[in-house]
Amino acid sequence: MGNYRNFTTVMYCIAPWAARITEAELQRQIEFFNHYVKPDKVYLETFRSEWASQEQLDLCKRVFKDHGIAVSGGITTVTEDLSPEDSKRQRFYQTFCYSNEVHREHLKKVVTYTAENFDEFIIDDFFFSQCRCEDCRREKGDRSWAEFKMDKMREVSENLVIKPAKAVNPKINIIIKYPNWRESFQETGYNPAQQKDMFDMIYTGTETRHPVETEQHLPHYLSYSLMRFFENTKPGKNGGGWFDPYECYGIDTYLEQAYLTAFSKPREIMLFCWPSLYHNKVVTPLGFRLKDLDGILDKLGKPQGLPFYLPHNSQGEDHLEDYLGMAGIPLEPMPTFPAYAKTPLLPSSAPSVLVTASALEDRDIIPKIRNFINQGGKVIASSGFIIESLQRKNGIEDLTSIRFRGRYAETCEFQISRSGSSRMYYRKSGERIRFPVLEHRTNSSWSLLNAGSGDQHTSILIRDTNGRGELLTLAIPDLFSRIKKIPAEALTRIREELALGNIYLEGPPQLSLFTYDNGTFGLYPYTTLDSAPDWVKIHVKGKASALSPISGDNSFVSEPVKIAPLSQSETETIFEFRVEPGDYQFFKVEV
């Protein structure tokens, strides 16, 4: 057992630091980290543009082990120019050119050196091919860049990493860490569909940083959703989640990476990197929260949510799932289309799946959807999926009367009906939101939620019945971040229809709901410029007697007070409580 019961806390030590650290200074730094985050393990890097010498590796390994900290290896595949012609190659981050023999031999040397020193090593997420030099162009031939890069990196993985490492150390455990830009993998050679079976383990980059002031613009929910995606990619062999303190611009922005990574129930929580975190102000609250989260995770089951089909090597409506996740819809991303099967814990719920434009990477997606619906399932499709399907004429016309004529509408008024009621009421958004106009034939398809301006409205949520099941189409704003501008009452209608299981959320946007298979759930309200404390309601299907708060190891409340129902009927129980930005809360539903 390590310092925590539910995860191992690990830290990454980069090669330039390892090459220069003295024993006395390392002792001081270990004392600092042991006081706060209590690392169980480190990944000690051998190479990152420069080498950590054998003498320095031996020093670090000895001192870490003396403190009871396990040590594995690490590699970052970036390098300075290795030959005069390298100056002619434009390589982002100085990544290797794998069409160049000097670079290829250098990588094998790095891998062999690392495998001789460790029984396990991880490859940082620069293990991609960005180079488009003349050598690469010549080798590519008539293939697309994505085809060439994926073929090339499969060959590099096998011949320059796995075979050389296992030749010198047959028991080596090799881990490939995937970055947070999943939608772009195929253009640079990452291919989890193949590499998951080549490498012993995988690892997940959960860095989101500040969503506005950085070039990647990564929604915070990605720290959770990408972990779940890779858990479903290589079950039991996703090593953990890895995040860093860079470009966070506020302690809460940094800590949210840790929270959402932990909510996904990882095996390891990786802190990158040792020298950047030494005497960093984020370490103090992180240590406090890790202990608290450990106590909460004791009581949570397996994460569950609306299955979201995200094929490998796909691109389309990038990160839409994360914006929906931040609007209170629990999601479970997966690289394979789910089989139709009733969930034993939720026998009254129809099996459901969400598809966006990314699912069109699967050429058989329409037959899969048709079969799923005909058996009684519910398929929720984004407007991007429907529109592109109509353009491709792939057979979606057989499942819905929706047609798209290229029109868009800026809306500020939402026409809402409650489930099972024909009564409509209106709410206004604070800003105008632009939606695609989805024309459909009334009474062939039925609108559940409308938006518009004045006396003209367009449909936002549309139902089609087919066989024993249904197709729901959700219109998406052209900027996904505008989802948070939809009035809370309209969002609640969407949450209700997309809910998997017996819980859904009523309340403001920018609030994630996390559900687990043992009747527990959690809420996390994000910290944004316009966030403020608010009241939320939790709808539980059927009768429930109370919500029991789940306390962490750092809770100041010895006996948390149970929350009694606000109202109750034969079909539903509603609870109400207050949430504050940046503070997570978890509960057990008591029946």
- Cα distance between residue 66 and residue 68, in whole Å: 6
Q: What is the pLDDT of residues 357-372, one digit of tens each?
A: 999 999 999 999 999 9
**Residue-wise burial string across 464-481, b where 16 or more C-beta atoms lie within 10 A, e elsewhere:** bebeebbbbbbbbbeebe
54-66 vs 23-36: helix axis angle to the nearest 10? 40
Mean pLDDT of 272-297: 96
Helix (H, G, I), strand (E, B) or coil at 51: strand
Q: Is the pLDDT of residue 92 over 80?
A: no
- Residue 109 clears pLDDT 60, i.e. is over it: yes
- Read out DSSP for 283-324? HHHHHHHHHHHHHHHTT---EE-EEEE--TT--SSTTHHHHH
Token pair listed for 562: 């149970």
User: What domains are defined for the chain?
Assistant: 8-298 (3.20.20.80), 304-590 (3.40.50)
**Average pLDDT value for residue range 267-276:** 98
Q: Is residue 1 predicted with pLDDT exceeding 70? A: no
Instruction: Please choose, from the candidates 207, 287, 202, 286, the residue with its C-alpha nearest in 3D space to the C-alpha of residue 243.
Output: 207
In the prediction, which pLDDT does 80 show? Answer: 81
- Residues of the chain with pLDDT > 90, as a percent, come to 83
Q: Which of 98-102, 237-241, 415-419, 433-437 comes out lowest in average pLDDT? A: 415-419
Q: With contact defined as beta carbons under 8 Å apart, do 69 and 42 qualify?
A: yes
Whether 528 has a pLDDT exceeding 80, the answer reads no
Is the four-CA dihedral 269, 321, 325, 482 of positive or negative sign? positive
Tens of pLDDT, residues 285-298 = 999 999 999 999 99
Backbone CA torsion sign across 278, 282, 287, 290: negative
Res 556 pLDDT > 90? no
Half-sphere exposure of 331 (CA within 13 A, CB side): 30
Query: What is the token pair recorded at 380?
Result: 């929720």
For strand 446-453 and strand 303-304, is the pairing parallel, antiparallel, or unpaired?
A: unpaired
Instruction: Give the burial string for 151-182 (b: 16+ CB within 10 Å, else e).
Output: bbbeebbeebbbebbeeebeebbbbbbbbbbb
User: What tens digit of pLDDT does each residue of 316-333 get?
Assistant: 999 999 999 999 999 999
Nearest-angstrom CA–CA distance, 574 and 465: 29
Question: CA-CA distance, 265 to 267, in Å (whole number)?
Answer: 7
3-state SS class at 105: helix
Instruction: Read off the pLDDT band of 537 (50, 70, 90).
Output: very high
How far separated are the first and last CA of the chain, in Å rounded? 34
Query: Residue 479 and residue 34: Cα distance in Å, rounded?
Result: 44
Distance CA 411, CA 400 (A): 24
Provide the sign of the torsion angle of the four alpha carbons 244, 251, 333, 346, taken in this order: positive
Q: Are 153 and 129 in contact (CB under 8 A)?
A: yes
- Nearest in space to 489 (alpha carbons), one of 463, 509, 460, 459: 509
How do residues 450-490 score in pLDDT, each as one tens digit?
999 888 889 999 999 998 999 999 999 999 999 999 999 99
pLDDT band at 496, cuts 50/70/90? very high
For residue 275, what are the contacts with CB-CB under 8 A and spacing of at least 6? 13, 14, 17
Q: At what angle do helices 283-297 and 251-263 cross, to 10 degrees?
A: 20
The number of angstroms, rounded, from the C-alpha of 319 to the middle of its chain's C-alpha atoms is 9
CA–CA separation, 383 and 494 (whole Å):
14
* pLDDT at residue 385, as a whole number: 98
Q: Which of 42-51, 122-131, 421-430, 475-484 has the lowest mean pLDDT?
A: 421-430
| Residues 13-63: tens digit of each pLDDT | 999 999 999 999 999 999 999 999 999 999 999 999 999 999 999 999 999
User: What tokens does 551 get?
Assistant: 């306390």
Q: What is the pLDDT of residue 555?
A: 62
| Alpha helices, DSSP H, located in 157-201 | 163-168, 185-188, 192-198
Other CB atoms within 10 Å distance of the CB of residue 484: 18
Tell me how far apart the alpha carbons of residues 17 and 32 are, in angstroms, rounded to a whole number.
16
Hunting for tokens 């099996």 — which residue is that?
351
Closest CA to 464 of 418, 417, 400: 400
> 479: closest CA among 527, 511, 431?
431
Average pLDDT over residues 260-284: 97
CB 505 within 8 A of CB 513: yes
pLDDT at 191 (0 to 100): 96
Contact assessment for residue 333 and residue 311, using Cβ atoms and an 8 Å cutoff = no
Burial 406-442 (b: 16+ CB within 10 A, else e): eeebebbbbbbbeeeeeeeeebebeeebebbbbebee
> What is the rounded distance in angstroms from the CA atom of residue 130 to the CA atom of residue 78?
11
> What is the DSSP annotation of 529-567?
TT---EEEEEEEES---EEEEPP-TT-S-SSPPPBPPSE
